[in-house]
Amino acid sequence: MSLDQLTIHNVRNLRELRLEAFERTNVIYGANGSGKTSILEAIHLLGMARSFRGTSAKTLISHGEAACVVHGVGTLSSGRGRYSLGVERRLNGELSLKINGEAARTIAELVERLPVQVINADSFSLLTGAPQARRHFLNWGVFHVEHRFFPEWQRFQRCIKQRNSSLRRGKLAGQELQAWTRELARSGSMINEYRQAYFNDLAPLFREIVGRLLPQIGSLELRLRQGWDKRLSYSEALEATLNSDQEKGFTQLGPQRADLKVMVDGHAAADTLSRGQQKLVVCGLKLAQGRLMRALASRSCIYLVDDLPSELDQAHSRRVCDELEAIQAQVFITCVERNDVLRVWPNKGEKLAVFHVEHGLVESELEQSSAPQLQGNNRESQSSHE
């Protein structure tokens, strides 16, 4: 799964941009405000139909325009052919998705085709922020390796909505409540099983990767809280909280309350690690997902790495780059100065594509890794695309 070319229309300051000749590793550099993050956002839009900046479509669309459009052409893993994706977001909230020229109905179809992972200056918030982001992280991973997960997840969402509505209707909903509780217990247990199986594979990979990124860190543990007392079946837990659920009018326990926790020497990583260490732990989580996806589904995700040096010293940036390189996934990585990434990217003789962004326009160059120290390297400069 890799992206070969990208056309961007009206994403922030990128009015009309065509990028091509991507390599496995793509370095995007330029001054503050030039449009680097916007390029990553455009790729994210193509894979997730939304930005990773958590802002509405309104702020993503260039000022004064009614819509933004991103179109991408890529190659499927192990040479299984080419694909094209298109996403249009309009100011009025409309969203249209195309896969190989045909209209797609759901965002999940897009997500399945172009799995993207973001590592940026906000990444630490996966540890320190609300559990919803960690559930999303977990679901994303399971979605890509277990094809039964998504339909079950949709069933689970439907069941919990119906059960909550029955709970709010009180005694009137007696039999209906029983039926939805049974169905929710079944579906929630399946979701939990898929997550547990995924977690069991993820945890050792995570520990291994963080062990390389942060060798001094101490004893590291990744925990999964399933969302109810693990000594009980989900059905038993629902039974035990039935009265209280009825009083409150919603289902208190279940996979919708699951959470992941990282512990270091018995303390929560979110409370004890430095900002840079937190970023590295989150990198460990995201890199472990990429590895697992490759191992279990023979597919790879695309890493969008924004401003790697923020919070990281050179030695740790280098370790993250080593891991990214080893995963053999396609990487788009931004920095301000051309050499910020090139000086820490591993020298494996691989060609890197380098793009210089200026005021929303891009010039592309090719570079052999690892550049700055090897002045004599071949350096073909390609003509500007804009």
Ligand X SMILES: Nc1ncnc2c1ncn2[C@@H]1O[C@H](COP(=O)(O)OP(=O)(O)OP(=O)(O)O)[C@@H](O)[C@H]1O
List binding-site positions for ATP: 30-37
Binding test (CB under 6 A) with ligand X, winner from 25, 26, 51, 62:
62
Site size for ligand X, by CB under 6 A?
Answer: 15
The answer to the question of residue 51 lying near ligand X (CB under 6 A) is: no
Binding test (CB under 6 A) with ligand X, winner from 56, 59, 200, 274:
59
SS3 343: coil
The answer to the question of residue 278 lying near ligand X (CB under 6 A) is: no
Q: Which stretch binds Mg ion (CB under 5 A): 30-38, 113-121, 128-136, 367-375?
A: 30-38
In angstroms, the CA 85 to CA 366 distance is 25
SS3 14: strand
Binding test (CB under 6 A) with ligand X, winner from 54, 63, 103, 231:
63
Q: Which stretch binds ligand X (CB under 6 A): 26-34, 159-167, 274-282, 315-323?
A: 26-34
Q: At its nearest, how many Å lie between Mg ion and the CB of residue 323?
A: 22
Per-residue exposure over 282-307, b if at least 16 CB sit within 10 Å of its own CB, e if not: bbbbbbbbbbbbbeeeebbbbbbbbb
Query: Residue 330 binds which one of Mg ion, ligand X, none, with CB within 5 to 8 A depending on kind?
Result: none
**Hey, which residues between 33 and 62 contact Mg ion (CB under 5 A)?**
37
The answer to the question of residue 36 lying near ligand X (CB under 6 A) is: yes
Q: At its nearest, how many Å lie between Mg ion and the CB of residue 312?
A: 15
Nearer to ligand X, 94 or 358 (CB): 358
Contacts of 226 (CB under 8 A, 6+ apart): 192, 195, 196, 255, 258
Q: Which two tokens stand for residue 112?
A: 């399945």
Nearer to ligand X, 306 or 323 (CB): 306
The answer to the question of residue 12 lying near ligand X (CB under 6 A) is: yes
Q: At its nearest, how many Å lie between ligand X and the CB of residue 18?
A: 17
In angstroms, the CA 162 to CA 144 distance is 27
Q: Which two tokens stand for residue 132?
A: 């919803």
User: How much of the chain is in helix, strand and coil states, percent to nearest 5?
Assistant: 45, 25, 30
Binding test (CB under 6 A) with ligand X, winner from 3, 30, 224, 285:
30
- Surface-to-core class of residue 1, CB atoms within 10 Å of its CB (0-12 exposed, 13-18 middle, 19+ buried): buried
Chain-centroid distance of CA 83 in Å reads 20
Nearer to ligand X, 35 or 227 (CB): 35
CA distances from 262 to 217, 221, 271, 350, 379 (A): 12, 6, 10, 35, 43
Interacting residue ranges for ligand X, rule: CB under 6 A: 12-13, 30, 32-38, 59, 61-63, 336
